[in-house]
Amino acid sequence: MTATPTAGPAAGAPIPGAGPGRLAEGVLRLPSVLFCIVTGAAPLAAMLFNVPVATLGAGYASPAAFIVATVALTIFSVGYIAMCRRVTSAGGFYTFVTRGLGRVAGLGSGLLIALCYIVFAAAVTGTMGYFASTTVASFTGVELPAWAYMIIGLALMSVFAVFHIELTAKILGVLLIGEVLVLLVLAVGVFAAGGAEGFSLAPLNPVNIFGNSAAIEVFGAGAAGIALFAAFWSWVGFEMAPNYAEETRDPHRIARTAIYGSVIGLGAFYVLISYVFVGGWGLTGSARAVQAQYAGEIASAFYPLTDRFIGSWATALMQVLIVTGSFACAMAFYNTSARYLFALSREGVLPAALARTSNRRSPVPAAMTVTTLVGLYCLGFVLYDPSTEGALLKLGTWSPLLGVLGILAVQALVSVAIIRFFLTTARDGFRWWSTLVAPVIGFAAMTGACVLLVVNRYDLAGAADVTYIVVLPWVVLAVFVAGVVLALFLRSRAPQRYARIGQFEVSTSEISSAEERQVATA
């Protein structure tokens, strides 16, 4: 519980658990939460897409970029976890910013982060459609456009949203395990064979991110900013733990373990696989392989590695798993988007109908709204470019830039909110490292990543003059400002609704009761 006044919503006290809809309490254990989080980070997709991007910027030093990102995000997580221990709500970032910086900034963050997750769900749905189309065509000869598979994928997500969240978590878990195993098999094969030319510690040295000789030799120049951004990009989704807090059996303990486990676990995994990629191709060979991929000579710079060190069966398996992994990633973002809409409507910001839950206590109206919004967003891109390649190169590439920028910006605000929260509302929990120094470092890291994205967005998108890319930073700012204006309007015209912004919280007694019920029925 937060150490807030208790004179009611106007005084800033969390609203107790009564409301128009409640999520199922105590149904998720730690593995289920980890499956929901890590599938959002999409480890297979992150490696197949982001390792080549990081190599484009830093040559053979791409593993060092992942090391830097791991350290920065782990430090950010220190303060984030401290906040998770005090606030238990499906609102996640939205609730945290509200508690630390007030309802005006909180609502601006809430609308922005909800948009970002919806955009991510749409982007990864497009990526899934592309790989489903190309994979089915290569195996069977049946050629269907990517948008046909996008419709199927979105329909399946909508169906799963109707059922219990535990079922969804199990499906995500199975797909995640498959992704991790195929990459680990590749790692074993490369290490067993000794790589292309032996192994070196040079790829692990952060100094080599800057002015990398292989990047300069192959690409003509290196771009440390692109490399570091690609690394940070790979963790999008790790912050989802608080969004499932109301549905976990021990939210405070599970949030801490899930966040550290996902950040550090994914970090170690990413460093390993990126190192395997460099070792499998060789220091200069890794950059040349990426050059060949971008020239269209090979579908992925990873596929020749599986052919060489494991066998063609592993390449075929990877082709299948990139489809299922992309679907799992899209579904993870879909679920989190629904919980943000649910949280915003439960507190009177969005229509009350979105705060209703089904008999299984799933946020079905909010989920169906996400289905509609994702469908319309995808439709816009399909009308712009109906080709299968467009689903990947436009919908699947441009959209994440918008989503990542918004999420990084909100993470920077969360860092500031944590500091202020523990200096004012929860002074009894103030700790110089976890609630001051770590958030300051986290703020610097997130702000730096935002700058890298904005500066390098044309190179990352592969499109210099496209309106979507040009206005991208302004869209993020406009959505945040729209939330601020809405909050100011509610403060003036609907003070009771304004008082509810970001205040819903599951009380300690309710958490204990849920835990006791689970023990009794175990």
The pLDDT score that the predictor gives to residue 456 is 86
Q: pLDDT grade, residue 70 (50/70/90)?
A: very high
The answer as to whether 287 is a domain residue is yes
Domain that holds residue 283: 9-521
Closest CA to 246 of 102, 110, 84, 410: 84
Please check the confidence at residue 387 and state whether its pLDDT lies above 70.
yes
Task: Give the list of residues 6+ apart from residue 417 with CB closer than 8 angstroms, or none.
Answer: 83, 96, 97, 99, 100, 101, 105
CATH value at residue 435: 1.20.1740.10
Share of the chain above pLDDT 70, in %: 82
Let me know if residue 144 belongs to a domain.
Answer: yes
Asked whether residue 229 is domain-assigned, the answer is yes
Nearest residue to 84 (alpha-carbon basis) of 499, 450, 362, 426: 426
CA-to-CA distance for 335 and 351, rounded, in angstroms? 19
The partner residues of 390 in beta bridges, in order of sequence, read: none
> Whole-angstrom Cα distance, residue 60 to residue 285?
9
- As a three-state string, the secondary structure of 161-221 is HHCCHHHHHHHHHHHHHHHHHHHHHHHHHHHHHCCCCCCCCHHHCHHHHCCCHHHHHHHCC
Q: How many domains does the chain have?
A: 1
Which residues have CB under 8 Å from 333's CB, separation 6+? Answer: 40, 117, 118, 120, 121, 124, 237
How is residue 507 annotated by DSSP? -
Kindly report, residue by residue over 4-48, the tens digit of the pLDDT: 333 333 334 444 443 445 555 555 566 666 666 666 667 888 898
Whether 4 is covered by a domain: the verdict is no
Residue 459 lies in a domain: yes
pLDDT tens sequence across 335-375: 888 888 988 888 888 898 998 877 666 788 999 999 999 99
CA 139 to chain CA mean position, Å: 31
Answer yes or no: are the C-beta atoms of 423 and 494 closer than 8 Å: no
Average pLDDT for the chain: 83
Structural domain includes residue 272: yes
pLDDT at 25: 56
CA angle 293, 467, 123 (to 5 degrees): 55
pTM summary value: 0.83
Return the percent helix, strand and coil in the chain, to nearest 5: 80, 0, 20
pLDDT in tens, 85-130: 887 665 678 888 999 999 999 999 999 999 999 999 999 999 999 9
Indicate the residue type of 318.
M
Confidence at residue 435, expressed as pLDDT on a 0 to 100 scale: 94
Mean pLDDT on 193-220: 90
Q: Which residue has the higher pLDDT, 513 or 159?
A: 159
